[in-house]
Structure 1
């Protein structure tokens, strides 16, 4: 049964596509996202509705959206219901897409600066032509962008479920009607968890992998330019919400990943354009210091973790890839026993330390070489998975 998270969509005429834009204080960027999305829908001759689901912005976001030029494409904005968070906003957009019987739901982040009209074709066409029910983004990104993705979501999701989706929490997705219904069929209390916050993207991707009749695809979208956050200063809450959701999904789908022992590539739709990515600077000394200090303050909580690794991070503020993977698996096992969010907090200083190590390892190399380091890390996750699985199911 679908729970009403939004009552504002009364018009039941059918649309080909609903483009949903969740927002919170994005007045500077949302108008461009709406206009570009409208152009993309018109280029494909799609009957479209562009919907903004806002979290109570105070900077004029809704006015900026409603005043945007969408070239005759219909648009509407509303404040979503539910607990504050991106997931609640997306839930309302999924409700709206279902109400207007959209064949495709496209989600675009409201802080995008690099979105192009052809993104709509890349995200929608594989669904329209019956190739898949889920299209994940495949971006060109700076080596220091997407640190939660690179260090845990991408490698762990890949080795668990056997499919390499490079950006499982990328924020810009295409979803088919059947999968919309799958999402909306989940228990009501799902929306009282971190799925209602930043856990929404990994939740959507993992369900698509495990419950869709068709394999997810990836769309080559070129460079992603958005409001980048420093991992040591701005990503703590996001990390906890995303990783706790990822671990909850491990529990829910353990029968799916139990016997997965290899990883296959996920098809990429479209050619990746030749674009230059925006450079990102990481505060390396600050990151090391945060890793050390944060860990020192959690020593009494982490007696279940190998002391040799803990001591090394306390002294250096860095962590080797093998140790990082072992810590991730150990924390996941602890979370299985306790279901305690504090286990995810235990992982935070090691995440900071892993970023610091990655920055030092890749400081003098280009993004392509850095990507090889990320792939080697995935290989370590796969190599250590049998031992982890034995402990998980033992």
Structure 2
């Protein structure tokens, strides 16, 4: 890296992560010292409403880097609130580069810091995103929603577009400060808001291999996290001039599935399936009208058997509905179909080797690109809704005191 003597900030967005935040902060500090031994290094904890001692644990852990804490109230805030607070601190510190590390990761390594920092060593805006190996039962929002939809709209196949471990240079931070922020970007929509906007503006996105990622399972959030992610993604899509031709003949082969596999709690899966079934029963007519491709799916023990052949066309239905002005029903109905896709996918991969699962996901992304290209979808219409509301999921969405719960 050409410039190793200026200000580097590592930001850790957190809420109630006392068990892991200390180890993440120490890994960040060690990595900063390795990469920038003569630099002005800062580790920023941004938290919103933690009640488990997260702040105390962070302030007590010994670091060579300067420590900064940015706190905000918990109600009505989310991960994006913390990320934006970190960005503000980085700009105030005149940082040359900013790196983000998720607070709940148990596999954070000091080597991630120089790898991410080197990737954004440029005068032009650059975004660095991670490339992980993940448990085959995780990364569902990435694999079945965000990665194929970004490839279909922007023509770029990104393996982990919402991975959390990001890096930005100063030019990127200044560019990002001009982008409109939907309410969902202050929640779990923040990661896709960053990546999708970068792709929309043709900013260079660099994928950085970081090995395995081990963290708390996000499955219990499967009824609210993807809703917020889709909301931010669809806002960016509507600001895009047109569906772009893919910059690849086929998606690059991935090695994203790790040998480790921990099945989700059956009781949680059962509760989620019941909520989705109630939702689809209440909205079945509108779901059929907006998602004609879903008429091809059959029943399954968990609800609907949404296979790899049907899913790309369902995603194309969603984009077509958003382009026609049906933003919120397209977003919310897609969440219900997505849960059924995830549960079907788990059955599809039973007995498959890791490389075979990677191949299935690559084919799914490629088929999504083809399905969207075939529709002739016209973007660039009106803006999305001015606020974020659970809307159709009210009464079905399991809400608990965690990030991303709307006020």
* 1:262-287, Cα deviation, whole Å (9 max, x unpaired): 4677899xxx9x99654220367736
Give, in whole Å, the separation in 2 of the partners of 1:266 and 1:68. 41
Quick one: which of 6, 11, 18 aligns to 1:20? 11
* 1:9-31, Cα deviation, whole Å (9 max, x unpaired): xxxxx952110011111111101
Q: Is the 8 A contact 1:159 1:263 kept in 2?
A: no
Give, in whole Å, the separation in 2 of the partners of 1:90 and 1:102. 15
* 1:77-127, Cα deviation, whole Å (9 max, x unpaired): 121479401111111111111111111100010101100000001110122
- Note if 1:246 corresponds to 2:233: yes
Query: Residue 184 of structure 2 corresponds to which residue in structure 1?
Result: 194
Query: Residue 338 of structure 2 corresponds to which residue in structure 1?
Result: 351
Relative to 1, partners in 2 of residues 1:87 and 1:261: Cα closer, same or farther, differing over 3 Å?
same
Query: Residue 289 of structure 2 corresponds to which residue in structure 1?
Result: 304
Relative to 1, partners in 2 of residues 1:236 and 1:393: Cα closer, same or farther, differing over 3 Å?
same
TM-score (structure 1 length as normaliser): 0.85
Relative to 1, partners in 2 of residues 1:243 and 1:338: Cα closer, same or farther, differing over 3 Å?
same
Give, in whole Å, the separation in 2 of the partners of 1:142 and 1:225. 8
Query: Residue 360 of structure 1 corresponds to which residue in structure 2?
Result: 347
SS at match of 2:128: strand
Give, in whole Å, the separation in 2 of the partners of 1:264 and 1:38. 39
Query: Residue 75 of structure 1 corresponds to which residue in structure 2?
Result: 67
TM-score (structure 2 length as normaliser): 0.82
TM-superposed CA distance for 1:342, in Å, is: 3.3
Quick one: which of 208, 213, 219 aligns to 2:208? 219
- Note if 1:165 corresponds to 2:155: no
Query: Residue 9 of structure 1 corresponds to which residue in structure 2?
Result: none
- Note if 1:48 corresponds to 2:33: no
- Note if 1:207 corresponds to 2:197: yes
Relative to 1, partners in 2 of residues 1:100 and 1:225: Cα closer, same or farther, differing over 3 Å?
same
Relative to 1, partners in 2 of residues 1:141 and 1:346: Cα closer, same or farther, differing over 3 Å?
same
Give, in whole Å, the separation in 2 of the partners of 1:319 and 1:52. 40
Give, in whole Å, the separation in 1 of the partners of 2:61 and 2:93. 22
Query: Residue 134 of structure 1 corresponds to which residue in structure 2?
Result: 127
**Structure 2 counterparts to residues 33-112 of structure 1, below 5 A:** 33-44=24-35, 45=37, 46-70=39-63, 72-80=64-72, 83-112=76-105
Quick one: which of 222, 229, 247 aligns to 2:218? 229
* 1:106-164, Cα deviation, whole Å (9 max, x unpaired): 00101011000000011101223668611100001112111000001011112321222
Relative to 1, partners in 2 of residues 1:335 and 1:390: Cα closer, same or farther, differing over 3 Å?
closer
Relative to 1, partners in 2 of residues 1:308 and 1:84: Cα closer, same or farther, differing over 3 Å?
closer
Q: Is the 8 A contact 1:35 1:68 kept in 2?
A: yes
SS at match of 1:358: helix
- Note if 1:279 corresponds to 2:268: no
TM-superposed CA distance for 1:356, in Å, is: 1.7
Query: Residue 8 of structure 1 corresponds to which residue in structure 2?
Result: none
Higher helix residue share: 1
Give, in whole Å, the separation in 1 of the partners of 2:121 and 2:135. 31
Give, in whole Å, the separation in 2 of the partners of 1:69 and 1:313. 56
SS at match of 1:57: coil
Give, in whole Å, the separation in 2 of the partners of 1:267 and 1:361. 19
- The worse-fitting range, judged by mean Cα deviation, of 280-289 and 381-390 is 280-289
SS at match of 2:102: coil
SS at match of 1:128: coil
Higher RCO structure (Cα 8 Å, ≥6 apart):
2
Q: Which runs of 5+ in 1 are unaligned?
A: 1-13
Q: Which runs of 5+ in 2 are unaligned?
A: 382-407
Q: Is the 8 A contact 1:164 1:263 kept in 2?
A: no
